[in-house]
Amino acid sequence: MYLIADSGSTKTDWVVLDAQGEVPETFFTKGFNPTIVSTLFIIDALKQSAQFLKAIPATKKIFFYGSGCSTPELNNVIIEAFRLFSPAVEIEIKNDLYASVHATTGNDPAIVCIIGTGSNACSFDGNQVTDDDFSLGYILGDEGSGSYLGKQLLKDFFYDTMPAAVSKAFNDRYHLKRNEVIERIYRRERPNEFLASFVPFIRDHIQNEYCRQMVEDSFDSFIQYFILRFAHAGDVSIHCTGSVGYYFKDIFEICLHKHTLKPGKILVSPMDGLVRYVKKYLIS
């Protein structure tokens, strides 16, 4: 049996793959981005997952594709957690951009993006992934992402630059106090997830020009920093996975066209394509 995981900063999607290549079970856990969580955090989260505890004793290999998995040191944060549950299990860890590549582009050259809680992009030449360690994270970067949008929304609310109607709706929904937000962002774990938690509000009010323009400006920044750095950006399709890119895909496509770029596949999750890839190339 095999476990396949696609992990962002907010949640991890898991698929159990049996010896016949069937999927008897799928489940979710918290996100395991090793740049912001510890091995102990991962262990605690896995202990709370009945599905993981049921599957791991019979698991031959774990294929883990994760946000933040960009160096051996960071990968070890994940590996050490898995070893507690199964010392002998094989573990393959790759950056989550590889999952997005496998799910979207096949063997065709492309630029592949992730726009979810965080954001990133890479180039794929049909064989190799390159330039996949570019994102500066939620404090310095993550343009286009849920954490980036949430940060802008909170700034506008507390600086009182948000349109009155939107500000009232935001206050009625969340009842946030400045000191509570400061505490949550600067003194607690996973602040990027907290920031991204306000994306549903933006989605619910996307017909308001303020919210729509915020998303458009955010995507323009993402394109400027992450996509246009590639000289061949105008020659290949631009694929994307992740909830923010997917839920605002009409705006994302408009922004791509504005920069004379060609939209490709835009998926909420790479998992279906990732499972097909693992079955075809990694365990056949």
Q: Quick one: which of 45, 61, 64, 65 has its CA closest to 53?
A: 45
The CATH classification of domain 2-99+271-282, taken from the options 3.30.450.60, 3.40.50.920, 3.30.420.40, 3.30.70.100:
3.30.420.40
Over residues 189-244, the pLDDT tens digits come to 889 999 999 999 999 999 999 999 999 999 999 999 999 999 999 999 999 999 99
Residue 132 has pLDDT above 80, yes or no: no
What's the pLDDT score for residue 75?
A: 94
pLDDT confidence bin for 284, thresholds 50/70/90: low
User: Where is average pLDDT lowest: 11-15, 153-157, 278-282?
Assistant: 278-282
What's the pLDDT score for residue 166?
A: 97
Distance, CA of 94 to CA of 279 (rounded, Å): 17
Q: Quick one: which of 214, 278, 270 has its CA closest to 243?
A: 270
pLDDT confidence bin for 280, thresholds 50/70/90: confident
- Tell me the pTM: 0.85
What's the pLDDT score for residue 144?
A: 96
